[in-house]
Amino acid sequence: MSHICPDADEYNYSGERKYFHRDYRGAIGDYTKAIELESEDPDIFFNRGLAQLMEDDKREALRDFFRAIELGEHVSLNVLELCM
């Protein structure tokens, strides 16, 4: 993970915990807060995209995956195909 502000890092980790407990809406909320604090970290956009994909919000997931790519994240084509 890149160096991000501590508060954004905490929200990202909180989002990860919620994601793994299948609280995808809660995870999306935490990732959104992290992005508000640190909008240049591709990992956070990727994580939020995964949570949105689990909520079947393919449009927003794809938007976040493309933003993660713009910021330097490598996103598998297999993940992008899930949004189609």
pLDDT tens-digit map of 23-70: 999 999 999 999 999 889 999 999 999 999 999 999 999 999 999 999
pLDDT at 44: 95
pLDDT at 2 over 70: no
Q: What are the structure tokens assigned to 36, written together? A: 């508000």
How distant, in Å, are the alpha carbons of 13, 72, 77 from that of 16? 5, 20, 22
Give the three-class secondary structure for 18.
helix
Which residues, 6 or more positions from 83, have their beta carbon under 8 angstroms from its beta carbon? 53, 58, 59, 61, 62, 65
Q: How many domains does the chain have?
A: 1
Most distant pair of Cα atoms in the chain: their distance = 35
Containing domain of residue 49, as a range? 6-81
4 pLDDT band (50/70/90 cuts)? Answer: low
pTM over 0.85: yes
pLDDT at 1: 44
Report the CATH number at residue 62.
Answer: 1.25.40.10
In a domain, 1, yes or no: no
pLDDT tens-digit map of 56-68: 999 999 999 999 9
